[in-house]
Amino acid sequence: MATATKGTIGILTGGGDVPGLNPAIRAVTVRALREGYRVVGLRRGWGGIIDVVRDKKHDNSNNFVELTQTVVDRAARTGGTFLHTSRTRPSHTHKDRVPEHLKDSYSEEYNDMTPEVIKNLEWIGIDYLITIGGDDTLSYSVHLFRQGVNVNAIPKTMDNDVPGTDYCIGFSTCVTRTIHMTNNLRTSAGSHERFMVLEVFGRYAGFTAMLPTMAGAANRCLIPEHPFEIEHLTELMVADRRNNPSNYSICLVSEGAMFEGGEMMFENAERDAYGHAKLGGIGDMVSAKLKELSPKFNKGQSINNITQKLGYLVRCGDPDAIDSIVPMAYGTMALDLILRGIHGRLVVLKNGRYDHVPIEVVTATKKLVNVSKHYDVDKYHPIYRDFEMLPLFIMASES
């Protein structure tokens, strides 16, 4: 691959897909090419870098690709990531995931393949690395920066829970889709006079349930930051249904929400490279308990439910306006940092202003809903007051 005058920039996307990733890749690429840099897209997140074979005769096209304006212009209007993604953790690579050509060197149950990552980046010719991801992908970016790699990062996650920033790519589209689909589904809930329980993403943070509820999509929401008491929820939902002329009520449930005295619910015991088991089932359980307990508050009559897991429906498809504009700005800022010789930064939105902070903030703290400020623990819905001087999406990063 040709050598550029000013150096080579590598871009990767890791973790879950969201709308807005391709616009961010485009923003970096177009500007970098105009400034005289070469740009390489690293495929499948950290997974593609691990799989590189350092041999010029080997076909590494599945691991990295040189980016052009034609390629990124076409992709930028679409959702997902055309570079693909994975949940690979190079510092804790299971022996089954070690590439065949490295199995003799890495034979432990879990292996730190950071030395290979650094060698592969050097072999490809990467001088500067821009990573786009959530706290898992970015936590490894922190590790690489501490190892001397020139890294800058862009926050991405529909959960909006990366510390240090008020906004992560994908969140606006997620909230927009959740509101839209909830409003569509309410026609069925009203037609059958039922409860409607919708499960949304949100492992540790409840922003994806809070904002749609705040916007009027639901009567109640359950979030990971505060365990709920199911009998009290049932009483509230029955009252909401009774007060609704169409005789239905809606509850949004974060996948990480927990019954009082209970734990998170998982689909199975399988875990990803970062130790996360796949969450799921809390919506079904809440729905079943609401039906079971409803006669106590509804004159002895049971109330049926509509239960739906919104899941990937809110993270697929094209980005909305905010997830087209913010990624453009984030990508441009990341390139600006490289031009200024600044590394180890996370580009952010804070109080409505674009900025950048030390990348270490990703591992130094957690970003969660401030329950005392934003969530009514008795009513199981957001607090509607004191919005003056708050950012666009109300709940800011505390760090």
Tell me the backbone φ, ψ of residue 145, rounded to 5 degrees. Answer: -60, -40
Residues 224, 171: contact at Cβ < 8 Å?
Answer: no
Tokens 């490279």 belong to residue: 273
261 to each of 225, 227, 257, 290, how far by Cα in Å? 13, 8, 12, 17
Of 228, 392, 217, 246, residue with least CA distance to 314: 217
Alpha carbons within 13 A on the beta-carbon side of 180: 9
Q: List the catalytic residues.
A: 159
What sections of the chain are H helices per DSSP?
21-34, 46-50, 69-75, 114-124, 135-146, 171-192, 207-214, 230-243, 282-293, 322-339, 361-364, 371-374
Q: Distance (Å, rounded) from C-alpha 64 to C-alpha 40? A: 7
Q: At what angle do helices 322-339 and 171-192 cross, to 10 degrees?
A: 160
Residues 6+ apart with CB under 8 A from 374: 210, 382, 383, 394, 395
Tell me the backbone φ, ψ of residue 354, rounded to 5 degrees. Answer: -75, 140
Q: Which amino acid, one-letter code, is at 131?
A: T
Tell me the backbone φ, ψ of residue 207, rounded to 5 degrees. Answer: -60, -35
SS3 365: coil
> What distance separates the 2 farthest-apart alpha carbons in the chain?
77
